[in-house]
Amino acid sequence: MSIEIRQLRKAFGKTVVCDDLNLDIPSGELVALLGPSGSGKTTLLRIIAGLEVPDAGSVRFHGQDTTHTDVRERQVGFVFQHYALFGHMSIFENVAFGLRVRPKATRPSEAAIRKKVTELLKLVQLDWIADRYPHQLSGGQRQRIALARALAVEPKVLLLDEPFGALDAKVRKELRRWLRRLHDEVHVTSVFVTHDQEEAMEVADRVVVMNEGRIEQEGTPDQVYDHPASPFVLNFLGDVNLFHGRLGHGPGAPAGEVSYVRPHELQILAQPEEGSLPVVLGQVLTVGPNTRLEFRRRDEAGYVDVELPRSEYQVLRDSLGLAPGSEVHLRPRRITRFAAA
């Protein structure tokens, strides 16, 4: 089921939350809506779901206008950050719920329900806890059950709003890989809201970057990372150093341009080379596999961060005798330029 969004507008009072949005979500894709808090991701998701009515514009499912279709008829499945499973029902019954409440005419037989729920519990790799109750599960297990429950009614579209937001970092990482694998198996068109760029890049086929109710850019994770359409996208997808002026240019660089270089795209040199920048080493910080170095520009125009694998840093430290106060040069391997705002 594809989703087509056209000229969608929504405001709450004077706050425009969806500002003329146009977006195509191809059938079977997993798309991440990525943006800072308040950028309108959840509102867009709720409009797709039918939980919120837009002021103007349309949402079509496979070409059919659903803007005024009731939420129950849209056949969407939901998973939220705090998905309240029914505490008094077993895990099995929680997953079966959506099937049991169907009108008699479309309700599957008891045997069919058992088969379906067992299949789903296997799919989320939790068939061994079917008889437990929600309070006996970890947060990560609960979210997997929430997903099984959403999939039970065979939704045409699956909507996930920060589904792993409440979990700790390690479980989050596991679950997002798990979600990716699960999606590769079931292929239901899915829209996933997150403010975590790493999560979006790792899980999604396509990433839609939102800012202040507008879509800044959409594309594959590689497209948005390697070819950001705006300084906002560039900044939001990771740390970046900013240089006003002629970095990487010879004399006569275009005025009014800003150069952006990511910390891992700077090379440390003992001697100046064309396009390099003289700096003094300040702090050195090693976290896990990477080392982060903070340099002060010798022209006093600010600081520059460099990041490199810990082992590479150790080699450089020994060969260049790097220590706080060392005077070295930085050369960008890759520069992204935008006109100054």
Ligand X SMILES: Nc1ncnc2c1ncn2[C@@H]1O[C@H](COP(=O)(O)OP(=O)(O)OP(=O)(O)O)[C@@H](O)[C@H]1O
Q: Residue numbers of the site for ligand X (CB under 6 A)?
A: 12, 15, 17, 35, 37-43, 195
Contacts of 165 (CB under 8 A, 6+ apart): 81, 194
Nearer CB in complex with ligand X: 16/284: 16
Nearer CB in complex with ligand X: 212/294: 212
Amino acid at 257: E
| Nearest distance in Å: CB 162, ligand X | 7
Nearer CB in complex with ligand X: 33/126: 33
Provide the Cα torsion 280, 286, 289, 293; round to 10°.
-20
Nearer CB in complex with ligand X: 19/24: 19
Sheet holding 189-194, edge to edge: 76-79, 157-161, 189-194, 30-34, 206-211, 214-219
Q: How far apart are CA 324 and CA 294, in angstroms?
A: 9
Locate 86 and state its tokens.
């029914």
Q: How far apart are CA 34 and CA 211, in angstroms?
A: 9
Beta bridge partners of 210: 215
| Nearest distance in Å: CB 94, ligand X | 25
Closest Cα partner for 216 from 43, 19, 11?
Answer: 19
Nearer CB in complex with ligand X: 201/322: 201
Q: How far apart are CA 258 and CA 63, in angstroms?
A: 42
Q: By three-state DSSP, how is residue 330 classified? A: strand
Nearer CB in complex with ligand X: 9/246: 9
Nearer CB in complex with ligand X: 195/329: 195
Nearer CB in complex with ligand X: 39/66: 39
| Nearest distance in Å: CB 19, ligand X | 11
| Nearest distance in Å: CB 85, ligand X | 22
Q: How far apart are CA 341 and CA 338, in angstroms?
A: 8
Pairing outcome for strands 327-332 and 266-269? antiparallel
Contacts of 296 (CB under 8 A, 6+ apart): 279, 280, 282, 302, 303, 304
Nearer CB in complex with ligand X: 3/47: 47
Sheet holding 3-12, edge to edge: 15-25, 3-12, 56-61, 64-65
Q: How far apart are CA 328 and CA 175, in angstroms?
A: 43
